[in-house]
Amino acid sequence: MKFAVIVFPGSNCDRDMYHAVKEVLHEEADLVWYQNSNLESYDGILLPGGFSYGDYLRSGAIAASSDVMVQVREHAAKGKPVLGVCNGFQILTEAGLLPGSLMRNKTLSFMCHQEELIVDNNETIFTAGYEKGEIVRFPIAHGEGNYFCDQATLATLKANNQIVFSYRNNPNGSTANIAGITNKQGNVLGMMPHPERAVEALLGSADGLMLFQSIVQNWRESSYVTNV
């Protein structure tokens, strides 16, 4: 499987994402500068964390309007996997690929520590390797990770089983303890915690590795069916 890790001015978790896929998972991966918008040869798109464009206007707002996001939308429309982590999640909401928005943490301060998450939905291409209700540990590192949506949107997210991860002990004030959601089709995941920083025990947790393994396993099964 071949991944594109999109790099914007101000991205700072792109190497973490690349390392997780290339060096730990041993799959193909390229760091793709945001101005190189030809993503046709890639099977999966990864939007890493950081401070794209210095978080001017709103976190992810400028990156969301860049040309490469046209390609990301087309990629998502084809049903291919798109994962946005931290700033990547913010970009996905600003681009309209996921509902809701990310606001300042309830403490109005930057947070950087391990958090326990609950796997609420293990029937996605990202979480198929987990058990429903499983507790996993991923680090968070954000100042604007407070997920907000109105009650109608929350009802839709629950009805469609789009809430994939929730915080066991909500650190930032997110609506309904939400840590990660998918689109209705289930092929676009946005989450504030960092699975790419939890792929080796040396990092304090290897619980994030299963997320990437789930993506690859789903792709291999889908590719097998397509090629038979």
Positions marked active-site: 86, 194, 196
Q: Which residues contact 91 (CB under 8 A, 6 or more apart)?
A: 47, 52, 60, 63, 64, 69, 84
Q: Which amino acid, one-letter code, is at 145?
A: G
Contact 140, 115 (CB under 8 A): yes
Using CA atoms in the order 61, 62, 66, 69, what is the torsion angle rounded to 10 degrees? -20
Q: Which residues contact 125 (CB under 8 A, 6 or more apart)?
A: 81, 186, 187, 214, 215, 218, 219
